[in-house]
Every structure is written in C-alpha cells, then in structure tokens.
Structure 1
Amino acid sequence: MRRLARLTVLLLACLWAQAASAEVTLSFHSFNGSVLFGRYPHTFIVMRGTLDETGEAIDENYGFTAKRATMAVLRGPVVHDIMIEEPKYIDKTNRHFSVPISDAQYRAIVAEMRAWRDAPGKYYDLDTRNCIHFVGRIAEIVGLSVEYPDDMLRRPKKWLNHVTMLNPSLGARTID
C-alpha cells in the first residue's frame, strides 16, 4: 500500500510540475528585407508554448501586410492581410526579444489579430497602419512601452531596436 501511495504522490508531483511549466512565449521579429530582391522589411510576432488552462500547444505567428505588394501601397490605403510565416523563414529573421504571456494575453493577442485581419475595406497604410503599428499594438497588450517615430515607420529592425531601448526591463540588446 505504501508503494502505491508513493507512486501516486510521484505521479501528482510530475503532473503539477508539468502544469506549472506551461507557458506561452511571445517573440518579436524583424526581417531586414530588400526593395530590390523581393521581400520588403517586415516585423511580426511569434507565439510558442503551452496554454496553462488547457495544455493546448501553441505555435503561431502573425504579421500585418498589404495583400499585394504593388505601387498602390505608396498612394494610400490598400487591402490588407495577416501573413503567417513558414518555420524555415522565421529561423532567418532577427528575434529582438521575447516575453512570457498569460493565457488571457494570448487570447487578447489573437482577438486583436482577428480584428485587424477582418476589418472591412482597405486597412493597410504604409505610414499610418503597417506591420510596425500591428506589432506595436501587440506589444502594448503585454504592457510594453511603444512609440512610433516618423523616421522608423518603414524600418522594422530599427523600430524594434527602439522598442528594446524603451523597455530596459526586457534585458534585451539591440541588433546591428
């Protein structure tokens, strides 16, 4: 009987440790891009981990973009989209910093992404509502300080470096 009790205690301890370690990590990425070579500079988020409440595995990423990269982007609002990056592409980007998020923050981020994705009409604007503004809104949801200096609105890496400097508690370094 003692052996069964010990096994039960051990099993409960293992389950508790597994539940205690459940966590989703939110990472902020930039891609340097090149106007001449196909992909423009871009910023997006990656969420990976396990939800505390359900144990559901999370591996998602979102970036806000124009549905089509045409010259129309330079003239004003265009049709928008949420871009999902392939894992092999994510590995080639700059990960600026990561923060653990709660299940409630995860749900708020997904709801915000859906609001941007499902907005009617032409919602992407290079100067007022681009990938930087989307990622900035996600950063605000998790309590980070965010600013949008005019000289950074088309420079995602420089902008995320700026956000890094605004939030020294992250313990992150800027990326050259």
Structure 2
Amino acid sequence: MLRFLTLILSLVAASWSLPASAQVKMSFHSFNGSVLFGRYPHTFVVLEGTLEQSGQRISENFGFTAKTVSTAILSGPVEHDILVETPKYIKKTNRHFTVTLSDSEYRKVKAELAKWRDAPGKYYDLDTRNCIHFVGALAKIAGLRVEFPDKMLRRPKKWLNYITGLNPSLGAKPVG
C-alpha cells in the first residue's frame, strides 16, 4: 500500500512540473520594397514555436511570389514560387501582428501552402493571386477577418494595416 501511495504522489508531483503548453505563433510581415533596389513590396508569414502534440520545433517563413519578376506579371498569370526569407531580410521587415495557432491550424496552414506551391501551371496573378491573397488565405485559417480591397492589392503594408483594423481583438496598431 505504501508503494502505491508513493507512486500516486510521484505522479501528482510530476504533473505539477510539466512544461507550459506548446504553441506555434504566426507573425504577419510586410516589406516596403523599392523598384530601384530590386525588391518589390511583399507580405509573408513567419511561423515559430513548438507543436503541442509532437514537441516538434517550428521555425519557418513563407511568401508567395512570381518565379521570375518581369513585365510579364503585368499581362496576366505567370509561374509561381514560394519564397523563404533569410533571418537578415526578416529583420528589415515590418511585423504587423502575431496570432497563436493550434496544432490543427498549423497543419491547415501547411496544407494551404502546399496547395499554392503545387498548383499546376501559371498561378501567380498580380490582381487575383499574389502575396496578399496567399497571406490572406493563411489569416483566414487563423480565424481572422480578411478582405481584399482593389486599391490595396499591390500595397502589402497598407493591406496588413487594414487587416489590423478589421481585427481589433488582435490589440495591434497599424505600422507607420
């Protein structure tokens, strides 16, 4: 009986010292861009944290872009690519807000990424499927209200500030 009681007390004590619940954070970034310096305005997400079920460490980022930047972008759909940014580049961007994802939402984000990455043919379109639309699709998975006003489809920073306003529960302020 004493061994049984000791075992029960040990299990109770161990449960009190368990680490805090793991989580993955998804941050929404914009880059102001400049035609003169070769980087156009852009938006992307950064995912960091740990999956609760597996303990897998997550450190990823994804943006949607044209495979080749040329004037062909102005004429309609072109080949697409998923862009992964370097830590040095990420430091130069605007972080607008961050949301916490469940393991299930994280898996949905990865599935959506695969859908965009693996779409056949020419899938990037400046007006209907650009980096803003991609990030908007991921934001919807996180439960955010998302709209795509025509006047913002080529202005990622302005668009993310707009999304910030549509979602006051984020507690975020627009980036200046």
Q: With structure 2 as the length reference, what TM-score do the two structures score?
A: 0.92
Aligned twin of 1:60 = 60
Per the alignment, residue 72 of structure 1 pairs with: 72
Task: Give distance in 2, aligned partners of 1:13 and 1:171.
Answer: 32
Instruction: Give 1:127's aligned residue.
Output: 127
2:16 maps to what in 1?
13
User: How far apart in 2 are the matches of 1:125 and 1:115?
Assistant: 15
Deviation at 1:13, TM superposition (A): 2.5
State the distance in 2 between where 1:133 and 1:35 align.
21
Percent of pairs with identical residues: 64
Gaps of 5+ in 1: none
Which residue is equivalent to 1:142? 142
**Which string of whole-angstrom CA distances, capped at 9 and with x for unpartnered residues, describes residues 33-76 of structure 1?**
00111100000001100000000000111100000111111111
| Deviation readout 1:102-152 (Å, 9 max, x if unpaired) | 000000000000000000000000011000000000011111011111110
Q: Unaligned 5+ residue runs, structure 2?
A: none
TM-score by length of 1: 0.92
Measured against aligned partners, the alpha-carbon deviations of 1:84-106 in whole angstroms (never above 9, x if no partner) come to: 11111111110000011100000
CA distance in 2, matches of 1:54, 1:137: 25
After superposition, the CA RMSD in angstroms is: 1.6
4+ residue runs of structure 1 moved beyond 2 angstroms? 4-14
User: Which residue of structure 2 aligns with residue 103 of structure 1?
Assistant: 103
Please show how residues 79-90 of structure 1 align to structure 2 within 5 Å: 79-90=79-90
Aligned length: 172
2:166 corresponds in structure 1 to 166
Amino acid at match of 1:42: H
What amino acid is aligned across from residue 13 of structure 1 in structure 2?
W
